[in-house]
Amino acid sequence: MTSFKDLGLDPKLLAAVEAAGYETPSPIQEKAIPYALEGRDVMGLAQTGTGKTAAFGLPLVHQLLGGHDKRTPKGVKALILAPTRELVNQIAETLRTYVQGTHMKVTTVVGGLSINKQINMLATGTDILVATPGRLMDLMERRAVRLDTATFLVLDEADQMLDMGFIHALRQIAPALGTPRQTMLFSATMPKQMEELSSAYLEDPVKVQVSPPGKAADKITQGIHWAQDKGEKVDLLIDYLRDEPDGLSLVFGRTKHGSERLMKQLVAAGFDAVSIHGNKSQGQRDRALKAFKDGKASVLVATDVAARGIDIPSVTHVFNFDLPEVPENYVHRIGRTARAGADGDAISFVTGEEIGLLRQIQKVMKIEIPVLAGDRPEEVDPPKRGGGGGRGRGRGGPRGGSGGRGQGNGQGKPKAAQGQGKPGGANKRRRSKVRRNAA
Ligand code: AMP
């Protein structure tokens, strides 16, 4: 088995890796690091939790340690783009452990915080800049940052950035970087645009992959619980949570308001629930995330956007209170559980208007998700959701259009496999949640 030492990393990095408690490289690290150290462009197909931050971070820092260029005012040597503030902070936190004891500086710029402070931080130059694309563009417009000194570019969770005007941002950002440049792109799924991105911004990339696209880790037990309406979903969720007093549950809602309301309902029912979504300030989001990571809050209600890329190692349950409108997000969501060899459950509550979405998810996943319990509702067309409320379909983002909505309206499908198909052992208590049916 390859060791970190075999990979030929700088001794300082070997010490950092040891201090972090990593014993052997994870599969994505084993595959990507040797190529990245050679300076090759890398296109990595890997989810959060696979160790991909180290897969690009270690070779990046290794190469920067070997360079002797001084920092220049406003200059940047390596640029990492990530979709959310949380992910940016998490990447920076990891990289800072790698550069500890060196002269290297890691700086973050994200929206929602004072731009003036960020301008000041950048003024003296930085080695590694971790940024969300929008705020970086603002800083570029203000001439607060020079990217022509940067010869490394990492696009992390690239698929999650596609619907955020990312393609447009990248068109401005990438040409501003120096040449030659090493580019690494990481994505959990491989929608068609990813190939386009790759051919536009990567040169002869090596493709590395740890699990086929759209396939969830085997350790995740997935299941569907039919629900007639939102009210029933709330009851179901509360029952599931009561059954798992020691669990750490991540609950996904569709909208900011819906997630907030749900969090409050859970608190009223006696749970230590917190929420993160776009209506929360950065401070509130940080506090909620910390409480959840520390185990002080046992339930985190989140929207897809807010939860992008965040790594919470000990999540035992993922609940899709609402199904994601972008099928690929299902993969991202359930990938938050079953980390580091643990088992995890991913349970989706599905109403009649979500059956179309469910079909699309199953198509992307190439599996049929087993039904745990409940009565399959009649399939109905989802209500038109013009503009307000829902999670933004990024301006001009390629994910927009017809994506997400089920077109099929095969009404009243045969009632197959109801209440059976219990997946795996984790389902032992998987209940007679037929309370409703009996009622
Ligand atoms: P990431 O996929 O980069 O978000 O990393 C997921 C988690 O795995 C983080 O908590 C890392 O600290 C941890 N990790 C990364 N590489 C290794 C490794 N080789 N061995 C053990 N843990 C690791």
> Does residue 419 register a pLDDT over 60?
no
Specify the pLDDT at position 386: 52
Interatomic CA distance for residues 359 and 379, integer angstroms: 11
* Model pTM score: 0.65
pLDDT in tens, 103-120: 999 999 999 889 999 999
> Does residue 191 register a pLDDT over 90?
no
Interatomic CA distance for residues 286 and 324, integer angstroms: 23
pLDDT in tens, 20-72: 988 899 889 999 999 999 999 999 988 777 889 999 999 999 999 998 788 99
> Does residue 420 register a pLDDT over 50?
no
Instruction: Determine the distance separating the centroid of ligand 1 and the alpha carbon of 144, expressed in angstroms.
Output: 33
Specify the pLDDT at position 315: 85
Specify the pLDDT at position 159: 87
Q: How far is CA 377 from CA 223, 225, 407, in A?
A: 16, 11, 17
Residues with CB under 6 A from ligand 1: 20, 22, 25-26, 29, 48-54, 311, 313
In this predicted model, which residue has the larger pLDDT, 215 or 240? 240
Return the percentage of the chain with pLDDT > 90, whole number. Answer: 57
Interatomic CA distance for residues 26 and 32, integer angstroms: 10
Specify the pLDDT at position 216: 52
> Does residue 17 register a pLDDT over 80?
yes
Specify the pLDDT at position 342: 61
Instruction: Determine the distance separating the centroid of ligand 1 and the alpha carbon of 52, expressed in angstroms.
Output: 7
Specify the pLDDT at position 231: 94
Atom 14 (ligand 1) nearest CA: 51
Q: Please state the rounded mean pLDDT for residues 423-435.
A: 33
Instruction: Determine the distance separating the centroid of ligand 1 and the alpha carbon of 310, expressed in angstroms.
Output: 12
Q: Please state the rounded mean pLDDT for residues 141-150.
A: 97
In this predicted model, which residue has the larger pLDDT, 313 or 128? 128
Q: How far is CA 413 from CA 97, 372, 379, 408, 418, in A?
A: 54, 17, 8, 11, 12
> Does residue 418 register a pLDDT over 70?
no
Instruction: Determine the distance separating the centroid of ligand 1 and the alpha carbon of 109, expressed in angstroms.
Output: 23
Atom 5 (ligand 1) nearest CA: 51
Q: Half-sphere exposure (CA, 13 Å, Cβ side) for 133?
A: 23
Q: Which atom of ligand 1 is nearest to the CA of 309?
A: 4
Specify the pLDDT at position 385: 63
Q: Which atom of ligand 1 is nearest to the CA of 313?
A: 10
> Does residue 6 register a pLDDT over 50?
yes
Q: Which atom of ligand 1 is nearest to the CA of 23?
A: 20
Which of 2, 6, 26 for mutating ligand 1's site (highest number of atoms within 8 Å of CB)? 26
Specify the pLDDT at position 341: 55
Q: How far is CA 141 from CA 80, 169, 239, 260, in A?
A: 18, 12, 51, 35
Q: Please state the rounded mean pLDDT for residues 380-402.
A: 47
Model confidence at 412, in pLDDT bands (50, 70, 90)?
A: very low
Q: Please state the rounded mean pLDDT for residues 72-93.
A: 94
Instruction: Determine the distance separating the centroid of ligand 1 and the alpha carbon of 264, expressed in angstroms.
Output: 33
Interatomic CA distance for residues 63 and 154, integer angstroms: 14
Interatomic CA distance for residues 183 and 200, integer angstroms: 11
Mean pLDDT score of the chain:
83
Which of 13, 22, 23, 289 for mutating ligand 1's site (highest number of atoms within 8 Å of CB)? 22
Q: Which atom of ligand 1 is nearest to the CA of 24?
A: 19
Specify the pLDDT at position 227: 96
Model confidence at 388, in pLDDT bands (50, 70, 90)?
A: very low
Instruction: Determine the distance separating the centroid of ligand 1 and the alpha carbon of 51, expressed in angstroms.
Output: 4
Q: Please state the rounded mean pLDDT for residues 390-403.
A: 34
Specify the pLDDT at position 410: 32
Specify the pLDDT at position 425: 33
Specify the pLDDT at position 209: 87
Q: Which atom of ligand 1 is nearest to the CA of 48?
A: 2
Instruction: Determine the distance separating the centroid of ligand 1 and the alpha carbon of 29, expressed in angstroms.
Output: 10
Model confidence at 311, in pLDDT bands (50, 70, 90)?
A: confident
pLDDT in tens, 245-300: 888 999 999 999 999 999 999 999 999 999 999 888 888 988 999 999 898 999 99
Set out the domains of the chain in order of their start, with CATH numbers: 5-209 (3.40.50.300), 220-438 (3.40.50.300)
Helix pair angle (27-37, 52-66), 10° resolution: 30
Interatomic CA distance for residues 36 and 116, integer angstroms: 34
> Does residue 431 register a pLDDT over 60?
no
Instruction: Determine the distance separating the centroid of ligand 1 and the alpha carbon of 54, expressed in angstroms.
Output: 7
> Does residue 327 register a pLDDT over 80?
yes
Specify the pLDDT at position 339: 61
Contacts 24+ apart (CB under 8 A), 109-116: 109/135, 109/136, 109/139, 109/145, 110/84, 110/85, 110/135, 110/282, 111/85, 111/135, 112/85, 112/281, 112/282, 113/282, 115/139, 115/142
